[in-house]
Amino acid sequence: MTQTVYIGLGSNLNEPRQQVLQAIAKLKNLARSTLMCTSSLYLTPPWGIEDQPPFINAVIKMHTQLQPHALLDELLAIEVAQSRVRDIRYGPRTIDCDILLYGEQQITTERLSVPHPYLDKRSFVVIPLYEIAPMLILPSGIALVEVVKQYQNEKSKN
């Protein structure tokens, strides 16, 4: 069965723009999957650890027949191929590929949490996701547009 999935991409090392574009190119060729659309690339400040270079972030929408863990394995293989090193949580990276949403499913295993646990807490995910799916309703039942409005309200207060 084909599922609609949203994947977040981010990089802040080794030509971040090229890293994200390279990951997108690999995802275009992913077996049993079709890349439907890609957000713009966004330059964003680091999240978690602030003493590191800014990130390039994007979100893609795909249709896939891959099961969630098989898709995760493919994303991890892309990270390895692009020399991702996991030594500092929230630290600098060549590429990060996260499953944000997998259809309407809610998945919690040792290896995978979907929806992504911080999906609505990170503007670098919310804004590009909204660009490509403005009418999206999150599995929590909250419309993505409402999350965007919260960010806009918080930003206007600052």
Catalytic residue status for 89: no
How many domains is the chain partitioned into structurally? 1
Domain residues for 81?
3-157
Catalytic residue status for 98: yes
| Stronger pLDDT, 155 or 5, i.e. the higher one | 5
Catalytic residue status for 17: no
Catalytic residue among 73, 87, 96, 111: 96
- Which tokens hold the place of 118? 């911080």
The rounded distance, in Å, linking the Cα atoms of 24 and 78 is: 10
- Which tokens hold the place of 45? 């400040």
Catalytic residue among 73, 86, 87, 98: 98
Q: Which pTM does this prediction carry?
A: 0.94
Per-residue model confidence as pLDDT tens digits over 75-95: 999 999 998 777 777 678 999
Catalytic residue among 17, 51, 73, 84: 84
The phi, psi pair for 123, rounded to 5°, reads -60, -30
- Torsion, Cα 19 64 115 99, to 10 degrees, reads -20
Per-residue model confidence as pLDDT tens digits over 106-121: 999 999 999 988 888 8
Catalytic residue status for 96: yes
The amino acid at residue 102 is Y
What is the CATH classification number for the domain harbouring 57? 3.30.70.560
